[in-house]
Amino acid sequence: MVQGAPRTTAELFAGRRCMLVSVPGAFTTICDAVHLPGFVDKAHEFKQRGLDPVFVAVNDSAVMEAWGEVHGAGGKVELVGDGNGELTRALGLLVDMSVKGMGSRGKRAAMIVDDLVVTWLVIDTLCEFRSTRVESVLEDLYAVCLLYTSDAADEEDSVDLGGRRIIKKKKSRHRTP
């Protein structure tokens, strides 16, 4: 859980591999009923793959801490409050949801952040909850693991998962801010 002084992206992600999940907000309908509980239940599967599950939402740290307590996330999923939306904006995921009375929020997204480098990313459209479901993410990770452990690890490769194409390219050096 994140409490106290704000942390930089380097403090959050340097030297570690994370499954970073962006959600519109703590205690919102889908996030609260399905999204976070699914990742809490399957946290061990991410950790077995060397990924620390981390959720980020445009909420303050006290709200994120309370949300984590309700779902028993402690020791399973780290919750990061992005109160000003700075990280979410820098990732290109900030969206204006004022029409729903929610102000600026994060799009639903899941990504692997490997030592500050985003190496895999999926983003749901605003009206869907498909690619970032825990089951979809784990299915995609299985495919990505197959790609990264193949003999052609330095060449571009891809796999189609029921309309979702997963592409593995040579490692990019695009960094999170």
Query: Would you mind telling me the total number of residues written for the chain in this entry?
Result: 177
**What is the spatial distance between Cα 43 and Cα 175, in angstroms, rounded to a whole number?**
25
Q: Which residue numbers are catalytic?
A: 31
Alpha-carbon separation of residue 111 from 18, 30, 39, 99 (angstroms): 8, 19, 13, 27
Q: How many CB atoms lie within 10 A of CB 82?
A: 24
Rg of the Cα trace of the chain?
16
As a whole number of angstroms, the distance between CA 177 and CA 132 comes to: 22
